[in-house]
Amino acid sequence: MGTDLVAVDCTILGEAHRIVVCPRVQASSLEGPFDCILMTGPDSDPIEVPAGAARHLELLFDDVEDGEHASWGRPLEPMGKDQAMAVADFVWDGALAMDLAGLVVVACDGGVSRSAGVAAGVLAATGNDDSEIFRRKCPNSTCRRLVMEAMAERLEDDWNLRTMVSEAMGTVSLPEGEFEELCGLLD
């Protein structure tokens, strides 16, 4: 397990995507355009947004799990639900836009734990295989769980909105295969 770049091909909202997990320094050398989720801790160097990032999301939290009572001259803070929802919104909006050929770079200081946890959460929540992330990285389980929960909440919110609008219009119609895909994600 190390800081090497890991790329996983996947499907999000029926469209082909590639999620890349790597250290922030390595993300800076990638050619764009791509969407970029960048994470660091409060005591780390400031985030520098890679030149290739067309859109980016910056998150600030420590590389700890829920329930850890570690400190570094201050109590360490794990990822929060609001940050996980920001990830879900960012990924969802990017998937809907599909203007960057579906490339999402997820990077933290070392490219091993936080970024791997976020990427694994996105993959699992969208019905994709996250085993490559577990094989080559050490995903932060709190990040994975919170992102999965946030992605499921976002899916449910979108489904409820679509149903409400369809019922108001007198019909519920989805493009072929989308209903089955949505149901598969809820299993």
Q: What is the pLDDT of residue 58?
A: 96
pLDDT, tens only, 77-115: 899 999 999 999 999 888 877 655 689 999 999 999 999
159 domain-assigned: no
Q: Tell me the average pLDDT across 130-148.
A: 96
182 domain-assigned: no
**How far apart, in whole angstroms, are the C-alpha atoms of residue 167 and residue 66?**
41
Place of tokens 């389980």: 141
Q: Tell me the average pLDDT across 120-148.
A: 95
Using an 8 Å Cβ cutoff, are 37 and 105 in contact? yes
Domain containing residue 43: 6-151
167 domain-assigned: no
Task: Say what percent of the chain tops pLDDT 70.
Answer: 76
15 domain-assigned: yes
* Number of domains making up the chain: 1
55 domain-assigned: yes
pLDDT, tens only, 35-78: 999 999 988 888 899 999 999 999 999 998 876 666 667 788 89
pLDDT band at residue 180, thresholds of 50, 70 and 90? low
104 domain-assigned: yes
Cβ-based neighbour number of residue 14 at 10 Å: 12
Q: Can you list the positions of beta strands (E) in the chain?
A: 6-12, 15-23, 34-40, 53-60, 103-108
Per the structure block, which two tokens stand in for 144? 């994975």
Q: What is the pLDDT of residue 65?
A: 85
Q: Residue length, the chain?
A: 187
Is pLDDT at 9 greater than 90 in this prediction?
Answer: yes
Helix (H, G, I), strand (E, B) or coil at 58: strand
171 domain-assigned: no
**How far apart, in whole angstroms, are the C-alpha atoms of residue 175 and residue 28?**
38
Q: Tell me the average pLDDT across 114-141.
A: 96
Report the CATH number that the domain containing residue 98 is assigned in CATH.
Answer: 3.90.190.10
Using an 8 Å Cβ cutoff, are 30 and 52 in contact? yes
181 domain-assigned: no
Per the structure block, which two tokens stand in for 8? 């996983």
Task: Say what percent of the chain tops pLDDT 90.
Answer: 57
Q: What is the pLDDT of residue 161?
A: 61
